[in-house]
Amino acid sequence: MGMYMIIVGAGSIGTSLIDIAVREKNNVVVIDASPDRAREISNKYDITVLNGDATSAETLREAGSERADALIATTSDDAVNLMVVSIAEDLKVPSIVSVVNDKEHAEFFRKLGANVMENPEDVVANHLYNAVKRPKVKDFTVLSHGDQIFRLTINEGSPLVGKSLAESTKRGSLPHSIHVITFEREEKREIPTGETVIEVGDILTLFSLERASDELVEKLSG
């Protein structure tokens, strides 16, 4: 069963989110201050679109805050997003998420109980940089406190090949700070155990408690 979601802001991020939420058959209500954007979204999707001020409790109530499962603030103005989050918290919306355009503001949002998504431009920039810096890494995400998640294809020269994960950890080939979350083999993704033996061509999704150096990534990949 789909969620009842209020999306504030129909800019580039909001529009992408609306597209996903509608495709996944959620009940979506959009609020945007721009008449043109509101009209565009209304013409494109069969959903409720309010052209109004989302920093008004009355507007959020009109959007159905009392029955909403979630509210997501996506505007490019942190002051607007923060006000929306604050009102949504007062209205007891169960799940509140907000884009934070300036990372220095993130703590204000967290104190209000919102889940925070850092500036998407920074996220994209980091992905582009790491795509060049670490071409062997298929995907790369930096979490809070410097934790990392990345995907790696295992080649013949990898010290992990032919050994179980437990053995690789015991030998020191796989640092204790790095955990294999999933592995893909022949287009099947599975959760490994300590007895899982790594083969050439496996794609591993790894979680690192600290920054994995370029040298370590190269070594693990082979």
Best CATH choice for the domain 4-118 from the list 3.40.50.1580, 3.30.70.250, 3.30.565.10, 3.40.50.720? 3.40.50.720
3-state helix, strand, coil split of the chain in percent (to 5) is 40, 30, 35
CA distance 14 to 135: 30
Once rounded to an integer, what is the mean pLDDT over residues 182-197? 87
Instruction: State the distance between the two ends of the chain, measured CA to CA, in whole angstroms.
Output: 44
Average pLDDT, the chain: 85
| Candidate from 39-53, 86-100, 113-127, 172-186 with smallest mean pLDDT | 113-127
Q: What is the third-level CATH fold of 123-221?
A: Alpha-Beta Plaits (3.30.70)
Handedness of CA 162, 166, 168, 171 (dihedral sign): negative
CA distance 179 to 175: 8
pLDDT tens for each residue of 118-162: 666 665 566 556 555 555 555 555 555 556 777 888 889 899 999
Once rounded to an integer, what is the mean pLDDT over residues 21-32? 93
Scan for tokens 């043109």, then name that residue: 36
pLDDT of 35 strictly over 90 = yes
Whether the predicted model's global pTM rises above the 0.85 cut: no
Percentage of residues of the chain with pLDDT beyond 90: 40
User: In the prediction, which pLDDT does 16 show?
Assistant: 87
CA distance 93 to 142: 28
Per-domain residue ranges of the chain = 4-118, 123-221
Q: How far is CA 9 from CA 24, 65, 148, 194, in A?
A: 19, 16, 30, 46
pLDDT bracket for residue 1 (50, 70, 90): low
Amino acid 217 reads V
pLDDT tens for each residue of 89-100: 999 999 998 888
Scan for tokens 């129909």, then name that residue: 10
User: In the prediction, which pLDDT does 124 show?
Assistant: 57
